[in-house]
Amino acid sequence: MTLQTASPTARKATPEATARTAGASALEAALRQFAAAADHLGLDDGLRAILRVPQREYTVHFPVRLDDGSIRIFTGYRVQHNVARGPAKGGLRYHPSTDLDDVRALAMWMTWKAALVGVPFGGAKGGVTLDPAKLSSRELEAVTRRFATELEGVIGPDSDIPAPDVGTSAQTMAWIMDTVSMHRGFSVPGVATGKPLSIGGSAGRADATGQGVLYTIADATRRGGFTIEGARVAIQGFGNVGEATARLLHQAGARVVAITDIGGGVHRPDGLDVPLLRRHLQEHGTIAGAPGTRPIDNEELFALDVDVLVLAALEGQITANNAGSVRARILAEAANGPTTPDADPILARNGVVVIPDILCNAGGVVVSYFEWAQNRAALAWRADEVNERLRRQILAAADAVWQRAGSDSISPRLAANAIAVERVAEATRLRGLYP
């Protein structure tokens, strides 16, 4: 078969084509990182074969009536990568580029994250391919309730527990919890985490990922011989994670000099007024154009002369093409998979210390575990108890990562993945093969 030159129209990337590429490269990154950890550990072929594929994958297509009376078919996914260490756990993403490969990659990262921070869960991820900004609240509720219904028998407090992720929120989790509860005839709070406080959510869960990012950055700056106070920080993303991270860093005395979101970006070398940005976002739907700031785009933000660069948006942001321009001392991966494997050696050569995603952003799943445990015990912990437990759990994992990186002379990412893969491999081996 000969390959024909694509016509200009065929080459024009459709949204679906772009989505496939993004998901495929996230999966390729996850698999390359896994292979590096497996090689480092000398993992045997059997365990390697088991751990590199997801255990279960669900794809569902379902109709929802839109506000204009028309019917649209939505496609949703739930992938359970590995459940050797406990029930499957991971977020639900509503994003136009969500596809099966993307969810596969994110599910695998959840397995390693839960293992690294020592919460008794396996890894999962799910999502629906949609742009939440283009649907009304009623339409989003209908999508969520129908998707939860399609996943009946898949999700549950003992089997698979969703949480918020990109494009979803505490409200999304409330709809899932209510839908499952309606079907069962009684309240099932443990079916989702990241719920609103009034229906079984945990104190501290909303800010938990940002809080964990702050703890890992404070730990890394201390190891680097400086402090958060007065450190110059740039942040990509001002959503669930980026906003909390910006606010908490600002409160801790850091000078947040630049932030970007989907609508643009803001730069102020003397430090941004973070509370004002939050109000600007509420009024205008973006932080772009906030008074007293100049516009900045992502590539310019990545190259800023700052102490800490926080990536709190999507996968595949720092690549071989732009890694060389990063001047930060610390790169904090608050998002999942924001740095590609080809970028890693370039960053390392330039002395940029990477706090790997499965450590940096694990605060969310740690407090999700606390929420699930509180729901099962019918207890409610105070915010200060939650935060103290979170701090201890994240710092213990951070210690293990930096120690392993030192003892094996490897990067923090490889150290984090090696610790995690080792734990999951051990659980998988001990449980054995059925039948």
Query: Of 98, 54, 112, 61, which is closest to residue 358 (Cα–Cα)?
Result: 112
| Residue span 64-93 as binding mask against ligand GLU, x where in contact by CB under 6 A, dash where not | -------------------------xxx--
Instruction: Considering the complex, state which of residue 103 and residue 277 has its C-beta at the smaller distance from ligand GLU.
Output: 103
Query: Residue of minimal CB distance from ligand GLU?
Result: 91
| Residue span 118-157 as binding mask against ligand GLU, x where in contact by CB under 6 A, dash where not | ----------------------------------------
Q: Give yes or no for a contact between 90 and 107, defined as CB atoms under 8 angstroms apart.
A: yes
Q: Minimal distance in Å, beta carbon 112 to ligand GLU?
A: 11
| Residue span 283-322 as binding mask against ligand GLU, x where in contact by CB under 6 A, dash where not | ----------------------------------------
Pull the structure tokens for residue 342. 């080809």
The question of whether 125 is a catalytic residue gets the answer yes
Q: Minimal distance in Å, beta carbon 409 to ligand GLU?
A: 29
Instruction: Look at the block and give the residue holding tokens 């099966």.
Output: 100
Residue 302 phi, psi (nearest 5): -60, -30
335 CB-near residues (< 8 Å, 6+ apart):
236, 237, 241, 311, 312, 313, 314, 315, 317, 357, 361
Q: Minimal distance in Å, beta carbon 401 to ligand GLU?
A: 16
Q: Minimal distance in Å, beta carbon 163 to ligand GLU?
A: 3
Q: Minimal distance in Å, beta carbon 142 to ligand GLU?
A: 23
Size, binding site for ligand GLU by CB under 6 A: 11
Task: Tell me if 237 contacts ligand GLU by CB under 6 A.
Answer: no
Instruction: Considering the complex, state which of residue 234 and residue 334 has its C-beta at the smaller distance from ligand GLU.
Output: 334
Q: Give yes or no for a contact between 338 and 311, defined as CB atoms under 8 angstroms apart.
A: yes
- Measure the CA–CA gap between 115 and 362, rounded to whole angstroms: 10
Instruction: Considering the complex, state which of residue 101 and residue 165 has its C-beta at the smaller distance from ligand GLU.
Output: 165
Instruction: Considering the complex, state which of residue 312 and residue 347 has its C-beta at the smaller distance from ligand GLU.
Output: 312
Query: Of 122, 2, 23, which is closest to residue 431 (Cα–Cα)?
Result: 122
Q: Give yes or no for a contact between 271 and 317, defined as CB atoms under 8 angstroms apart.
A: no
Pick from 79, 163, 218, 425: which binds ligand GLU (CB under 6 A)?
163
Side-by-side strand order, sheet with 308-311: 294-295, 264-267, 255-261, 232-236, 308-311, 330-333, 353-355
Pick from 99, 165, 315, 344: which binds ligand GLU (CB under 6 A)?
165
Catalytic position from the list 89, 113, 125, 195: 125
Instruction: Look at the block and give the residue holding tokens 């030192």.
Output: 406
Q: Minimal distance in Å, beta carbon 433 to ligand GLU?
A: 28
Helix (H, G, I), strand (E, B) or coil at 276: helix
Q: Minimal distance in Å, beta carbon 164 to ligand GLU?
A: 6
| Residue span 333-372 as binding mask against ligand GLU, x where in contact by CB under 6 A, dash where not | ---x------------------------x--xx--x----
Q: Minimal distance in Å, beta carbon 165 to ligand GLU?
A: 4
Instruction: Considering the complex, state which of residue 23 and residue 91 has its C-beta at the smaller distance from ligand GLU.
Output: 91
Cβ atoms < 10 Å from Cβ of 57:
15
Instruction: Considering the complex, state which of residue 130 and residue 288 has its C-beta at the smaller distance from ligand GLU.
Output: 130
103 CB-near residues (< 8 Å, 6+ apart):
23, 77, 78, 79, 93, 125, 126, 127
Amino acid 362 reads A
- Measure the CA–CA gap between 221 and 294, rounded to whole angstroms: 28
- Measure the CA–CA gap between 381 and 384, rounded to whole angstroms: 8
| Residue span 184-213 as binding mask against ligand GLU, x where in contact by CB under 6 A, dash where not | ---------x--------------------
Instruction: Considering the complex, state which of residue 22 and residue 258 has its C-beta at the smaller distance from ligand GLU.
Output: 22
Instruction: Considering the complex, state which of residue 78 and residue 280 has its C-beta at the smaller distance from ligand GLU.
Output: 78
- Measure the CA–CA gap between 428 and 166, rounded to whole angstroms: 30
Residues 37-66 interacting with ligand GLU (rule: CB under 6 A): none
As a whole number of Å, the end-to-end CA separation of the chain is 44
The residues binding ligand GLU (CB under 6 A) are 89-91, 163, 165, 193, 336, 361, 364-365, 368
Residues identified as active-site: 125
